[in-house]
Amino acid sequence: MTTVMHARRRVRATLALLLLATIVCAAAAKQPSHNRFIVVCDDENDHPGAGNACRRAAVRGQGVIVNDALPGHRAFAAEFPGSPTAAAKVAENLMKAQGNGVRRVEPDGVHWLIEDDLEEGIDADTPPLRSRKLLEQHRRNLAQTMPPGVPMADVDPSLWPVAAGGKKVCIIDSGYMLSHVDLPGTETTTGSANGGAGVWYEDTMGHGTHVAGTVAAVHNDQGVVGVAPSVGLHIVRVFDAQRWAYSSSLVAALTECLTTGGAQIVSMSLGRSSYSSWEDAQFTSLAEEYGALFVAAAGNGGSSAYHWPASYPSVVSVGSVTASEVRSSFSQYNDRVELAAHGSSVLSTYKNGGYARMSGTSMATPHVSGVAALVWNRHPTCTSVEIRTALQMSARDKGPAGYDNEYGWGIVQGGAAIDLISACGCDVVECPGNSTPAPPTEAPPTQAPPTEAPPTEAPPTEAPPTEAPPTEAPPTQAPPTEAPPTQPPTELVDVQFGVTGPIAIPDNDRRGARSSAVNNLPAGYTSCSVESLTVAVDVTHASINHVILVLEHQNGAWVRLINKRGGSGDNMVGTVFDDGASRSIRKGRAPFTGSYVPEMELATFVGLDAEGTWTLVAQDRRRGTTGTLDSWTVDMTMECS
């Protein structure tokens, strides 16, 4: 077998507002524009006509709208003339102007196809005769190889039939070699191109084809086999030979995955080194709206630096391990890494019908995406949040006990996750005997999926129905002195209960600090249900963006109040969570005081039994600082009879 060497050149491109990235490309490769910005418009519901006004303002600033494919995100990409400094000034003035419908302007940052090492391969770069001989030898000798990452992920052939369920994987990458004998055809695979990258069913680079093979290479007694060989795929091509794509193109591709593509799992072996608040918000919004699971590569810098989109809270960040199950030297290690999978010297499908060994977190990511598809198709009524939590809690621990920055929760385990849900139900956190109870890392979707996407079959979170008594007419022979039955009278009763600390919140421990209070029935009543409630909390913590607070009901219902918000500020003082508040905790800055809409609706508890034990869980999910839960109080209105 020969080793294919590719000449590479590193080019450093500096974007407006100090956006930096390192790429691998040819010397004559097209470079990203320094003058391209995302213009975010005001909400039409708050300011009718804001969208049109926003566009007119950009055009008056001599902007050229280059990507208007973001209507659901109240945004578009525009390019401004002149030097990068002049363009940045135009963008700044556009944002400062009043009454033009513009909410915010930020650089349209660039995502790079993560650079991965091609160790050996059979492709067009190999001399034709030698390539054909190698390919035939490869197929003859393999007769179908199961790459080591498949059994490492606790996947065996008995699980493959379940992959054919309705949960699809969307791969955003460099395309897909549809003609490859070892990849699914159009009977289970669809696709589209985004941003002029070319047709989805070709792949001149091989990266997307390699990723797709790890997810779904078919079980056909030749070549290789994927983690979930029967799973449906949707391919969105955003990369061409230049290896980069704009942030606006990525968000448009993500939307394409969930709408036209009908996928529930999105796999992204790409990233950038700079944070985007707009992009973060779009990922969060789409995950919640469509009930989707996003999976992305943690990065190949071999450092603790964050990499996006992997480090957004709505995304599962995947690190890489070797065949010996130790962290790959190139794999990022930080407190956003969630799961690990095989990513060193991974054999998979490649361009022009060949095969190749590649290394990178790009190669680890599709292992997790494929496992997620297996688990979710076996348990389709679970939500994306429940699947994500099950993958965390079933992962095989590596490194220090519990969570750590190198492996996250450990190496992803498909069979163990399936068994965990089979034994416990979708809500694995509440499973009896679970030694590390913790709420999921993301809030479940609050909206039903749109009609153009397949249903996600999430279980309803509504309060139990309160049945009205039958309205049948009384029998005609009833004694005239008897009155028809009536409902027992009900009254609204206000109560207050909680706990006063301080209670230490353990550092970087998902079990957190748990404190409980009992709400007893008032004298003279036999039952009370929740009519409404608010929750007041006081937390002392130097880094409030490390903190998650969850209120739990004794029957298993729970509501996340805050999920690592507040920027770099500290403390929560007299903070009240109220569904009717005028501002959301998601957009707040610490220190938090006053009333905020929580991450999830407190109305989740309406109609449940009010009496019994209520528990507040306070977690610190990042290392470095500690704090205390000083007090919490529930103010509740109950309907009692």
Would you name the residues annotated as active-site residues?
A: 173, 207, 362
Residue type at 411?
A: I
User: Can you tell me the distance from the alpha carbon of 492 to that of 498, in angstroms, rounded to the nearest whole number?
Assistant: 20
The answer to whether the CB of 289 falls within 8 A of the CB of 452 is no
**CA 501 to CA 515: how far, in whole Å?**
9
List the beta bridge partners of residue 492.
639
Give Cβ neighbours of residue 549 (< 8 Å, ≥ 6 apart).
537, 539, 560, 561, 562, 616, 617, 618, 619
CA terminus-to-terminus distance, the chain: 80
- The residues, any chain, with a CB within 8 Å of residue 154's CB and separated by 6 or more, are 396, 412, 413, 414, 415, 416
Give the C-alpha separation, 597 to 606, whole Å: 16
327, amino acid identity: R
- Residue type at position 395: A
Residue 497: exposure state from Cβ atoms within 10 A (0-12, 13-18, ≥19): middle
Listed in sequence order, the residues at least 6 apart from 536 whose beta carbon sits closer than 8 Å to its beta carbon are 498, 574, 575, 576, 577, 631, 632, 633, 635
Element (H, E) at 591: none
Q: SS3 string of 328-354? A: CCCCCCCCCEEEEEECCCEEEECHHHC
Per DSSP, the chain holds a count of helices (H) and strands (E) of 10, 28
Q: What is the DSSP string of 370-415?
A: HHHHHHHHHSTTS-HHHHHHHHHHHSBP-SSSS-BTTTBT-B--HH
Are 318 and 297 a contacting pair, CB within 8 Å?
A: yes
**528 and 610 in contact (C-beta within 8 Å)?**
yes
Among candidate residues 495, 466, 501, the one with its CA nearest the CA of residue 611? 495
